[in-house]
């Protein structure tokens, strides 16, 4: 995205809170990109940035405004409150990993 004036760039910025840290992000960015680019770790297997989200592994699940969402398909919005470490998100990721491992043969 190219901006003619610096002011145009700031019009596309939104403020989100991730794990109690206020972060500015480009509006319409994928949540997983914002999380990872701010050195916050969340597991993910099926997400690969050059490709569209596959939405199959559910390991990138986070809590947004009290609801579980996939970070790979959720776009940031102004005022969004994200918790990557909530008990609800951790439990959902644990179940997703168990389901993945249950369906794959390991050596």
Structure confidence at residue 34 (pLDDT): 97
CB atoms within 10 A of CB 8: 11
Asked which of 11-25, 41-55, 57-71, 83-97 is least confident by mean pLDDT, the reply is: 41-55
- What is the arithmetic mean of pLDDT over 38-58? 86
Per DSSP, 77 falls in state: -
User: What is the C-alpha to C-alpha distance for residues 11 and 23, in angstroms, rounded to an integer?
Assistant: 15
Closest CA to 28 of 90, 74, 67: 74
| 36-45, 46-55, 70-79: the lowest-pLDDT one | 46-55
Secondary structure of the chain: what % helix, strand, coil (to 5)?
A: 25, 25, 50
- At 52 the pLDDT is 78
- The answer to whether residue 10 scores a pLDDT higher than 60 is no
pTM of the model: 0.82
**At 65, phi and psi to the nearest 5?**
50, 40
């Amino acid at each position: 995205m190219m901006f003619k004036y610096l002011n145009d760039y700031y019009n596309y910025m939104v403020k989100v809170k991730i794990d109690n840290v206020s972060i500015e992000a480009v509006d319409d960015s994928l949540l997983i990109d914002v999380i990872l680019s701010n050195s916050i770790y969340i597991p993910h297997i099926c997400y690969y940035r050059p490709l569209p989200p596959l939405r199959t592994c559910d390991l990138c699940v986070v809590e947004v405004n009290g609801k579980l969402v996939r970070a790979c398909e959720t776009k940031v919005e102004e005022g969004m409150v994200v918790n990557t470490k909530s008990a609800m998100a951790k439990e959902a990721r644990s179940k997703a990993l168990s389901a993945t491992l249950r369906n794959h043969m390991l050596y």
